[in-house]
Structure 1
Amino acid sequence: MAKKILVLGGGVGGVVAAKKLAERLRGRADFEITIINDTDYYLLPPLLVNIALGDLDPAQAQLPLSMLAKRGVRYVKANITKVDPENRTVETDKGKFTYDYLIASLGIENDFKTYNLGVGYHNFSLDGALKLREALRSFSGGNVVVFTPEPIYRCGVYPFEIVGQLDTVFRKRGIRDKVNITLIHPFEKPIQPLGPEAAKITMEVFKQKGINYVGNARPVEVDDKNKTVVITSDKVKYDLLIVVPPARLPKPFEGTSLVVDTPMGKWTAANVYTGRSPKFDDVYLPGEHSMPTIGLPTAGVPVHFTALASAGAIAGEILGQPIDPAQINAMTCAMDYGELGLMFNCDIKLDMNNNKANWMGSCYSILTSPLGKLIKDVFYKTWLKTTM
């Protein structure tokens, strides 16, 4: 009987895992791979900022999930409502699905309710990016505030990039002298997890560009009536507010035994080496919703590698071969600060005893040049073209 592999989520983790499994198993085993997602397309999240800044059209940042059919992967458009690992079922608005193996990579929920962030603009969805694009096109001057209230959000470098990119956009439009740019962030120093070298370079860029950094900020709320961001130590006025919503656990996992309480909130538990659930041998969780529990950032690169590891583990079991997940051992972070591009590498050591990926304190610069921006652009656009 064919092994039923159910993949939840049509983002980086789900697509990478489905593609890898199909490649490993085709012609070697009897299997069925089904991927469930709530949209018809795969969208590369890092390119949302390019859409917001007017550099890309939406069609250039997405691919139809139906393209996976050529690899033998069935696609179903549905809203996932509940994961039930005890009964090996997943509930959706199109009915229930059963599985022999489950790979769930559902990203994170963006929390716009806490701190009243819903009154600001953002680029954490396609609709949000398009609205931000229109707001930027009509903006003629004043106070621009980028507000990041909590330290866990999608793509940790984004707030530090966007302020540099906005500086460049406003300079090209000839209105930079009419704009005041401020970044409010919980880190004492910008991009602090990447270490003192990254923080120093970023602070120098901010100084050169005239960007204000309000660090170690403790958020209270956004007061839209008075157009101010309220933190415990100050009130910052804005004319254009761009928000970075905190990441939360996706709703289909709520109340399930896949979730654990951590000092960073409730997240799904996963093995750092394979992405497997510690409670269910048939469930793998290579999504952003597992990254805080294993010490990795809520970002695409660690999800990509964990998805490959999960696919490798499942294929090994089905084929009766040794499991060789080839999990992440380094992470390269490319940053676009406008005219300048930075590339930092972080060596990663997996601590199997404590189920953690240790990388903080092992990051170093490998490039500080306009070339870094080009490399980042080429990487993402090439990755999108070769994904399916």
Structure 2
Amino acid sequence: MPKKILILGGGVGGVVAAKRIAERIRGRVDAEITIVSDTDYYLLPPLLVNIALGDIEPSKAQLPLSMLERRGVKFVKAKVTKIDPDNRVVETDQGKFNYDYLLASLGVDFDFQSYNLGVGYHNYTLDGALKLRDALRSFSGGKVIIFTPEPIYRCGVYPFEFAAQLDTVFRKRGIRDRVDITLIHPFEKPIQPLGPEAVKITEEVYAKKGIKYIGSIKPDKVDDKEKTVILANGEKYKYDLLIVVPPARLPKPFEGTPLITDTPTGKWTAIDVYTGRSLKYDDVYLPGEHSMPYIGLPTAGVPVHFTALASATVIAGELLGEPIEPAQINAMTCAMDYGDLGMMFNCDVKLDLTGNKAAWVGSCYSILTSPLGRLIKDLFYKTWLATTM
């Protein structure tokens, strides 16, 4: 009987893992690799910004997951509804799947219900990016607010980038003098986790561009009738265009399972920092954004990418009977587009295997501050997409 390797999620973690396992075991192990996703395409999330800004069409940001079949990976379009690790079963709207190894990388759910965020625009889904694109095209002036109510959300640098990018877009359209841009965020200072150098650069950029930053906030709600963002201290900020950054939440298929644990930042899946393996099940790996807060990493593609590679390496090694030490993340490079300026920061990552944490805050430093940084970021994403499958 072939070993059944079931991969949940057609995002960066699932695709990277499927590709790595298939490469390592093909022709050497009798195994079936199946990837399950509720969409039939892989979408590179950072390019949703480019879609919202009208730089590219959606087709330039996605690839069909069926392309993995040429590597011997079966693709099934289905929505995962329940994970039962005790019985090695995953339920979907297209039936049940059994497995010998499970690798789940389901991203995070976006919470638009809290704080009444659903009334704002966003670019966290393809549909959301297209609606934001239309709203920006028809916007002719007024108060723009980017509202980030909680500190854990997908891609930590996004709101800081987007504020600066909007400044550039409105200048090119000749309406910047009719637009106020305000970023409301929980961090005391902009982009604070990347350290004082990043804060200083960003504050200088915002001062030059006339972007207002309101930090250390505790949110209350959005009153769309009054077009106002209300903070817990009673402060109110009027808007004509509201762009929201939804908090990240645990994906629903994990709810009620032994795979999760309570943390100070919410419920997340618990993994080994080195391998991405579940702390409770040796046959389950969880290299997704839903695990990153547990081990101290940001909910972003780079740490998911490396953790998925580590998980895939361990699975392939066990199947081959050749255990291999995984090469887990030791640095994160963050490329930022500030509209007319590019920044690149590197953060050294130290794995504390005893404490099961990855430490990176306080170890970030600039490696480039130049318009060239924007080009490097653009080339990186396009190259990554072109070589994914």
Q: Which TM-score band (shorter chain)?
A: over 0.9
Q: 1:202-258, CA deviations, whole angstroms, 9 ceiling, x for partnerless residues?
A: 011000000000000110000001000001231010000000000000000000000
Query: d(CA) in 1 for partners of 2:193 and 2:31?
Result: 42
CA offset at residue 27 of structure 1? 1.4
RMSD value over aligned CA atoms? 0.5
Q: Within 1, Cα distance between the matches of 2:323 and 2:315?
A: 11
Deviation at 1:324, TM superposition (A): 1.6
2:328 is matched with 327
**Alpha-carbon displacement from aligned partner over 1:275-308 (angstroms, at most 9, x marks no partner):** 0001000000000000000000000000000000
Correspondence for 1:84:
84
Q: Is 1:374 paired with 2:385?
A: no
1:328-385: CA deviation from partner (whole Å, max 9, x where unpaired): 0000000000000000000011000010001111100000000001000000011001
In the alignment, the residues of structure 1 paired with residue 379 and residue 109 of structure 2 have an alpha-carbon distance, to the nearest angstrom, of 28
Q: List per-residue Cα deviations over 1:137-174 (Å, max 9, x = no partner).
A: 00000000000000000000000000000000000000
Report the equivalent of 2:275.
274
**Greater alpha carbon shift after TM alignment, 359-368 vs 320-329:** 320-329
Pairing 1:337–2:338 present: yes
- Secondary structure of the 1:87 match is coil
State the one-letter code of the partner of 2:30: D
Structure 1 segments of 4+ aligned residues over 2 angstroms from their partners: none
Give, in whole Å, the separation in 1 of the partners of 2:216 and 2:246: 17
Provide the aligned length of Structure 1 versus Structure 2.
388
Paired residues for 1:143-182 under 5 Å: 143-182=143-182
Structure-2 residue corresponding to 1:73: 73
CA distance in 1, matches of 2:186, 2:245: 12
The CA distance in 2 between the partners of 1:322 and 1:267, in whole Å, is: 28
Aligned-pair distance for 1:28?
1.2
1:45-194 superposed matches below 5 A:
45-194=45-194
**1:23-62, aligned counterparts within 5 Å?**
23-62=23-62
Q: Which amino acid aligns with 1:327?
A: Q
Q: Distance in 2 between matches of 1:271 and 1:108?
A: 19
Cα distance in structure 2, aligned partners of 1:281 and 1:334: 35
Q: Percent identity?
A: 78
Q: Does the residue aligned with 2:372 lie in a helix, a strand or coil?
A: helix
Question: How far, CA to CA, are the matches of 1:186 and 1:65 in structure 2?
Answer: 37
Measured after TM superposition, the shift of residue 2 of structure 1 is: 1.1
- The Cα of 1:322 is off from its aligned counterpart by 2.4
2:358 counterpart residue number: 357
Per-residue CA shift, 1:72-119, capped at 9, x if unaligned? 000000010011100000000001000000000000000000000000
Q: Measure, in 1, the Cα distance between the counterparts of 2:330 and 2:161.
A: 25
- C-alpha distance in structure 1 between counterparts of 2:15 and 2:89, whole Å: 20
Give the AA of the match of 1:362. Answer: S
- With normalisation by structure 1, the TM-score equals 1.00
2:257 corresponds to 1:256: yes
Give the letter aligned to residue 370 of structure 1: P
Cα deviation, 1:150-199, whole Å, max 9, x if unaligned, reads 00000000000000000000000000000000000000001111111111
Question: How far apart in 1 are the matches of 2:141 and 2:325?
Answer: 55
Q: Counterpart of 2:228?
A: 228
**Structure 2 residue matching 1:171: 3-state secondary structure:** helix
**What letter matches 2:305 in structure 1?**
H
Deviation for aligned residue 1:323: 2.3
Distance in 2 of aligned mates of 1:325 and 1:242: 40
* Structure 2 CA distance for aligned equivalents of residues 316 and 20 of structure 1: 11
Q: How far apart are the structure 2 equivalents of 1:105 and 1:175?
A: 42
Q: Look up the equivalent residue of 1:13 and give its one-letter code.
A: G
Q: Report the TM-score, using the length of structure 2 for normalisation.
A: 0.99
SS of structure 2 residue aligned to 1:146:
strand
Q: Using the alignment, how far apart are the partners of 1:79 and 1:284 within structure 2?
A: 19
Q: Which runs of 5+ in 2 are unaligned?
A: none
Alpha-carbon distance in 2 for matches of 1:72, 1:95 = 22
Quote the Cα distance in structure 1 between the aligned partners of 2:275 and 2:314: 7
2-side partners of 1:164 and 1:78: how far apart?
38
Distance 1:130 1:232 in 2: 31
CA distance in 1, matches of 2:324, 2:290: 24
In the alignment, does 2:313 pair up with 1:312? Answer: yes
Residue in structure 1 matched with residue 248 of structure 2 by the alignment: 247
* Alignment partner of 1:294 is 2:314: no
